[in-house]
């Protein structure tokens, strides 16, 4: 007992007031509530510090994963709502892509239902014994080879490059090197055998197909969806190229002229695979061999198809011609012509001063169906329209040529005398207008001859032509003489009128 | 199709020595102080006309900086007709790396033509590579360059192009 108190005494002697402090600390540690509060105060700082070390991540990984999994299982809707803005656009884009391709294909199929292609495919189906739909689908896959690049293995140097006329321009040397780098990268990163190769890369609407050979790789940049056996055909082409020039491929030193010999080979493969993405007018013209084959196959059905497709063909041509004719009308721009019900709808632009829809109908000619116009007003800069706006009261005579140059309307050509006089009258008898250049305008002699003869009807005169001048002979009344004098003055420089053996008699 | 000759060259050197900057200076005549490390490889092309009159298209492979050659970078090197070895004058250890890389590359490519560049010469005041070291290196096929000011850049690429053309 005394020993104990001795010890306590010693303790208080040594530690003084600290004894109370220790007790307070002890209480604090033993009280879980206090302890929690203490830890909470430093928790975020501690986590921050610990996060610099990998151990925390490792320690947290599993419980976190479990917690997330649990949370998703319990409350999937909340998670779905959170992810919605991220995932939905991606899904939508993917659906749109798929639908677009689908619609495009259906579109072609419908377009070609009655085309000469259909006839060709019926023949092919009949010849091969395949179902018609299969033949049709196989031919309707739309794709076009844009570039073919022959690339030396390893170095990635471009050996030869051919491309379609409308292909996008690229730095083919860089593309070729980059494709090689990508190929090496993928192979070294994901595969440990040399047998696995990268053979397709998709990018937007392009797919790059890669055929690998011992010395070179053939890359084909395809727009659209190529048929499944396309890569196989590409490989065959590459084999042919190797057969023709294996040594040159291997020992290539950067001089592409060494490989000019294989260009036709590549070009041929290129052209063979190229399918025009949009079948336009030219594509619907039946190839000659087909006509022969078509002639061999008799039958009401086929004749029906031929008749229909021919009709379609002419109709298409008629519409194209209609578009061209209307587009040629000054102040009218045709954007497209669509088929709606039993008539054609012409959509486009029309200047208010251009021909009226009624006039357009006349110039449209016969197209078999009714035409309706859906033309929005716009301001045309066509010289003829500008002329109409400047001089709305004057019609445009046949021989008149109108052009615009540096803000001026330039008139030239041969015009009737009466018209010329009216023009001058409209221009207020001035020598011309600041916006109108009539220096090159000429007066049509026969019309002038007639007009002057009429003008001087009250006199006994004869008007004749002499080279590029008019001759007036006979007796003039004083009135006519004055009128003629005025006219000669007006026409000075444009037309010379000579008086010969004329006398003025009252 | 005037330059029908094309040659592949590679840029090799330690991290951040200025390989990408040198290519950018040579190809686009531009420079940026930002450092964006190259991942994998970046390819650029440039047509050059040599003093002798011939033209060549350089296909430049700017390979990510490494202290040692990785398998992938070895694949990237294949078929190169020459290379540019780059060290950073402000960090002497990058010169050691460059020499080690050279020892790996030369047997791989059968001792191709090369040029060495001691880069960042505009920071000469901060250089660790000493004047005496520079003297020795200049005699061994190295030259001084700055991607920032353009000093010595085009000349080095042209020199390499001349060496590669037979
Ligand atoms: N002052 C100066 N800075 C330079 C020069 N060349 C490069 N730099 C700078 O150095 C840093 C690295 O340059 P990069 O060209 O990216 O280096 P790199 O060798 O391509 O680096 P990695 O791709 O990582 O291997 C960048 O911040 C550049 O701006 C130079 O000549 N002078
Ligand atoms: Mg870089």
Per-residue tokens: A306: 């031929």
- Please give the residue that has the higher pLDDT: either A301 or A77: A77
Cβ separation of A189 and B72 shorter than 8 Å? yes
C-alpha B6/C-alpha A504 separation (Å) is 92
> Which residue reads 């896959």 in tokens?
A141
Count CB neighbours of A102 within 10 A: 10
Q: Which residues pair with A413 in a beta bridge?
A: A400, A441
Beta-sheet pairing, A496-504 with B41-49:
unpaired
CA A120 to chain CA mean position, Å: 30
Dihedrals phi, psi of A390, to nearest 5 degrees? -75, -40
Q: What is the pLDDT of residues A252-290, one digit of tens each?
A: 888 888 888 888 888 876 644 444 434 333 333 444 444
Dihedrals phi, psi of A178, to nearest 5 degrees? -65, -40
Task: Measure Cα distances from A306 to A119, A121, A134, A301, A316 in Å.
Answer: 7, 13, 21, 9, 15
C-alpha A273/C-alpha A244 separation (Å) is 20
C-alpha A454/C-alpha A483 separation (Å) is 12
User: How many CA atoms, within 13 angstroms, populate the side-chain half-sphere of residue A485?
Assistant: 9
Count CB neighbours of A6 within 10 A: 10
Cβ separation of B7 and A254 shorter than 8 Å? yes
Beta-sheet pairing, A158-163 with A143-152:
antiparallel
Cβ separation of B6 and A173 shorter than 8 Å? yes
Is any atom of ligand 1 closer than 6 Å to the C-beta of B89?
Answer: no
Dihedrals phi, psi of A168, to nearest 5 degrees? -65, 145
Question: Of A128-132, A161-165, A441-445, B78-82, which gets the smallest average pLDDT?
Answer: A128-132
Residue A301 has pLDDT above 50, yes or no: no
How many residues does this entry show for chain A? 506
Residue B165 has pLDDT above 80, yes or no: yes
ipTM of predicted complex: 0.83
Q: In which band, very low, low, confident or very high, does the pLDDT at A316 lie, cut at 50, 70 and 90?
A: low
Distant-in-sequence, close-in-space partners of A376: CB < 8 Å, separation ≥ 6: A348, A349, A350
**For chain B, which residues lie within 8 Å of any Cβ of chain A, measuring from their own Cβ?**
1, 4-8, 40-41, 43-45, 56-57, 59, 61, 71-72, 75-76, 78-81
Does residue A401 contact residue A386 with C-beta atoms inside 8 Å?
no
Q: What is the pLDDT of residues A169-217, one digit of tens each?
A: 788 888 899 888 888 888 777 776 667 788 888 877 788 999 998 889 9
Share of chain A above pLDDT 90, in %: 4
C-alpha B95/C-alpha B90 separation (Å) is 10
C-alpha A501/C-alpha B3 separation (Å) is 81
| Averaged pLDDT for residues B83-91 | 96
**Measured at the alpha carbon of residue A28, what is the angle toward residues A25 and A29, in degrees to the nearest 5?**
90
C-alpha A261/C-alpha A309 separation (Å) is 43
Atom of ligand 1 nearest to the CA of B23: 15
Q: In which band, very low, low, confident or very high, does the pLDDT at A114 lie, cut at 50, 70 and 90?
A: low
Q: How many CB pairs under 8 A join A and B?
A: 60
C-alpha A75/C-alpha A210 separation (Å) is 46
Residue A445 has pLDDT above 90, yes or no: no
C-alpha A309/C-alpha A315 separation (Å) is 10
Cβ separation of A177 and B61 shorter than 8 Å? yes
| Averaged pLDDT for residues A448-464 | 85
Does residue B81 contact residue B113 with C-beta atoms inside 8 Å?
yes
Does residue B95 contact residue B87 with C-beta atoms inside 8 Å?
yes
Residue B45 has pLDDT above 90, yes or no: yes
Cβ separation of A174 and B44 shorter than 8 Å? yes
Is any atom of ligand 1 closer than 6 Å to the C-beta of B41?
Answer: no
How many residues does this entry show for chain B? 166
Beta-sheet pairing, A496-504 with A469-476:
parallel
Q: Which of A440, A420, A443, A457 is nearest to A495 (CA)?
A: A443
- Please give the residue that has the higher pLDDT: either A126 or A176: A176
Contacts of A157 in chain B (CB under 8 A): 6, 8, 59, 79
Is any atom of ligand 1 closer than 6 Å to the C-beta of B122?
Answer: yes
Per-residue tokens: B143: 């030259």
Q: In which band, very low, low, confident or very high, does the pLDDT at A106 lie, cut at 50, 70 and 90?
A: low
Residue B34's pLDDT is what?
A: 87
| Averaged pLDDT for residues A132-152 | 75
C-alpha A177/C-alpha A182 separation (Å) is 9
> If you measure from the C-alpha of residue A441 to the centroid of ligand 1, how many angstroms do you get, rounded to a whole number?
71
By Cβ distance, the residue of B7, B76, B80 closest to A181 is B76
| Averaged pLDDT for residues A393-397 | 84
Q: What is the pLDDT of residues A153-179, one digit of tens each?
A: 889 999 999 888 767 778 888 889 988
Closest residue, chain A, to B42 (C-alpha): A178
| Chain A, window 206-265: residues with a beta carbon less than 8 angstroms from a chain B beta carbon | 254-257
Residue A15's pLDDT is what?
A: 67
Contacts of B4 in chain A (CB under 8 A): 255-257
Question: Of A6-20, A126-140, A222-236, A295-309, which gets the smallest average pLDDT?
Answer: A295-309
By Cβ distance, the residue of A154, A177, A185 closest to B43 is A177
Count CB neighbours of A456 within 10 A: 22
- Average pLDDT score, chain A: 77
C-alpha B88/C-alpha A164 separation (Å) is 46
Cβ separation of B45 and A171 shorter than 8 Å? yes
Q: Is A55 on the interface with B (CB under 8 A)?
A: no
Cβ separation of A154 and B40 shorter than 8 Å? no
> Which residue reads 């047998």 in tokens?
A195
Contacts of A256 in chain B (CB under 8 A): 1, 4-6
Q: Which of A101, A145, A140 is nearest to A120 (CA)?
A: A140
Q: Where are the alpha helices (DSSP H) in A288-352?
A: 288-296, 300-328
Cβ separation of A174 and B45 shorter than 8 Å? yes
Q: What is the pLDDT of residues B96-151, one digit of tens each?
A: 999 999 999 999 999 999 999 999 999 999 999 999 999 999 999 999 999 999 99
Cβ separation of A177 and B6 shorter than 8 Å? no
Task: Measure Cα distances from A77 to A87, A481, B60 in Å.
Answer: 14, 104, 52
Is any atom of ligand 1 closer than 6 Å to the C-beta of B17?
Answer: yes
Q: In which band, very low, low, confident or very high, does the pLDDT at A404 lie, cut at 50, 70 and 90?
A: confident
Contacts of B79 in chain A (CB under 8 A): 152, 154-157
Residue A297 has pLDDT above 60, yes or no: no
Whose atoms come closest to the Cα of B24: which ligand? 1
Residue A293 has pLDDT above 60, yes or no: no
Closest residue, chain B, to A170 (C-alpha): B45
* A332-340: strand order across its sheet: A332-340, A343-350, A370-377
Residue A290's pLDDT is what?
A: 43
> If you measure from the C-alpha of residue B98 to the centroid of ligand 2, how many angstroms do you get, rounded to a whole number?
15
Residue A272's pLDDT is what?
A: 44
Query: Ligand 1 pocket: which of B18, B85, B94, B145 to mutate (most atoms <8 Å of CB)?
Result: B18
Q: Which of A130, A123, A114 is nearest to A294 (CA)?
A: A123
Count CB neighbours of A91 within 10 A: 9
Residue A92's pLDDT is what?
A: 66
Residue A75 has pLDDT above 90, yes or no: no
Residue A27 DSSP symbol = H
Residue A2's pLDDT is what?
A: 55
Contacts of A257 in chain B (CB under 8 A): 4
Dihedrals phi, psi of A20, to nearest 5 degrees? -65, -40
C-alpha B21/C-alpha A318 separation (Å) is 61
Residue A308's pLDDT is what?
A: 56
Q: Choose the mutation target among B9, B48, B60, B76 for the interface with A, i.e. most A CBs under 10 Å.
A: B76
* DSSP notation for A399-426: TEEEEEETTEEEEEEEE-HHHHHHHHHH
Dihedrals phi, psi of A334, to nearest 5 degrees? -95, 120
Does residue B73 contact residue B63 with C-beta atoms inside 8 Å?
yes
Distant-in-sequence, close-in-space partners of B128: CB < 8 Å, separation ≥ 6: B89, B90, B91, B92
Is any atom of ligand 1 closer than 6 Å to the C-beta of B23?
Answer: no
């Amino acid at each position: 007992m005394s020993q104990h108190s001795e010890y306590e005494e010693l303790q208080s002697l040594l530690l003084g007031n600290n004894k109370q402090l220790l007790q307070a600390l002890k209480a604090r540690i033993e009280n879980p509530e206090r302890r929690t509060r203490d830890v909470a105060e430093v928790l975020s700082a501690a986590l921050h510090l610990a996060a610099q070390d990998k151990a925390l991540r490792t320690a947290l990984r599993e419980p976190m994963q479990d917690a997330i999994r649990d949370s998703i299982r319990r409350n999937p809707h909340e998670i779905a709502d959170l992810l919605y803005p991220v995932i939905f656009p991606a899904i939508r884009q993917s659906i749109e892509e798929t639908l677009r391709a689908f619609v495009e294909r259906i579109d072609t199929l419908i377009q070609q239902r009655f085309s000469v292609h259909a006839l060709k495919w019926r023949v092919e189906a009949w010849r091969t014994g395949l179902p018609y739909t299969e033949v049709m689908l196989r031919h309707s896959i739309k794709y076009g080879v844009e570039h073919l690049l022959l690339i030396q293995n390893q170095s990635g140097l471009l050996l030869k490059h051919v491309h379609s006329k409308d292909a996008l321009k690229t730095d083919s040397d860089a593309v070729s090197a980059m494709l090689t780098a990508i190929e090496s990268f993928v192979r070294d990163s994901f595969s440990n055998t040399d047998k696995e190769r990268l053979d397709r890369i998709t990018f937007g609407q392009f797919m790059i197909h890669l055929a690998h050979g011992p010395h070179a790789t053939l890359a084909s940049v395809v727009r659209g969806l190529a048929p499944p056996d396309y890569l196989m055909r590409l490989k065959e082409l590459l084999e042919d190229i190797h057969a023709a020039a294996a040594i040159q491929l291997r020992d290539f030193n950067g001089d592409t002229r060494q490989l000019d010999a294989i260009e036709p080979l590549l070009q041929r493969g290129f052209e063979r695979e190229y399918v025009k993405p949009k079948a336009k007018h030219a594509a619907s013209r039946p190839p000659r061999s087909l006509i022969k084959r078509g002639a061999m196959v008799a039958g009401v059905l086929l004749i029906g198809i031929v008749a229909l497709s021919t009709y379609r063909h002419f109709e298409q041509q008629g519409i194209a011609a209609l578009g061209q004719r209307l587009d040629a009308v000054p102040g009218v721009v045709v954007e497209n012509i669509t088929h709606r019900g039993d008539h054609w709808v012409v959509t486009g632009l029309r200047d208010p001063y251009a021909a009226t829809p009624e006039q357009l109908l006349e110039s449209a000619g016969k197209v078999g169906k009714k035409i309706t116009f859906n033309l929005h007003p716009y301001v045309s800069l066509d010289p003829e329209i500008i002329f109409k706006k400047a001089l709305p009261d004057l019609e445009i005579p046949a021989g008149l040529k109108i052009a615009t140059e540096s803000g001026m309307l330039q008139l030239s050509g041969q015009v009737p005398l009466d018209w010329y006089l009216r023009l001058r009258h409209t221009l207020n008898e001035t020598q011309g207008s600041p916006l109108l250049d009539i220096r090159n305008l000429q007066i049509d002699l026969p019309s002038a001859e007639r007009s002057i003869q009429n003008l001087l009807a009250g006199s006994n005169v004869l008007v004749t032509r002499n080279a590029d001048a008019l001759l007036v002979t006979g007796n003039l009344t004083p009135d006519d003489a004055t009128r003629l004098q005025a006219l000669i003055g007006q026409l000075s420089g444009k037309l010379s009128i000579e008086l010969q053996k004329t006398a003025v008699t009252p | 199709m005037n330059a029908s000759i094309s040659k592949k060259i590679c840029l090799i050197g330690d991290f951040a020595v200025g390989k990408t900057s040198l290519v950018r200076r040579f190809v686009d005549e531009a420079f940026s102080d930002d450092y964006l490390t190259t991942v994998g490889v970046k390819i650029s092309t440039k047509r050059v006309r040599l003093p002798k009159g011939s033209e060549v298209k350089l296909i430049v492979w700017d390979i990510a900086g490494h202290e040692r050659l990785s398998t992938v970078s070895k694949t990237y090197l294949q078929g190169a007709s020459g290379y540019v070895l780059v060290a950073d004058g402000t960090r002497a250890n990058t010169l050691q790396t460059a020499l080690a890389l050279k020892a790996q590359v030369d047997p791989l490519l059968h001792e191709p033509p090369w040029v060495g560049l001691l880069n960042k010469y505009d920071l000469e005041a901060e250089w660790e590579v000493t004047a005496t070291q520079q003297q020795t290196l200049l005699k061994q096929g190295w030259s001084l360059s700055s991607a920032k000011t353009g000093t010595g850049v085009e000349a080095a690429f042209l020199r390499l192009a001349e060496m590669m053309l037979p």
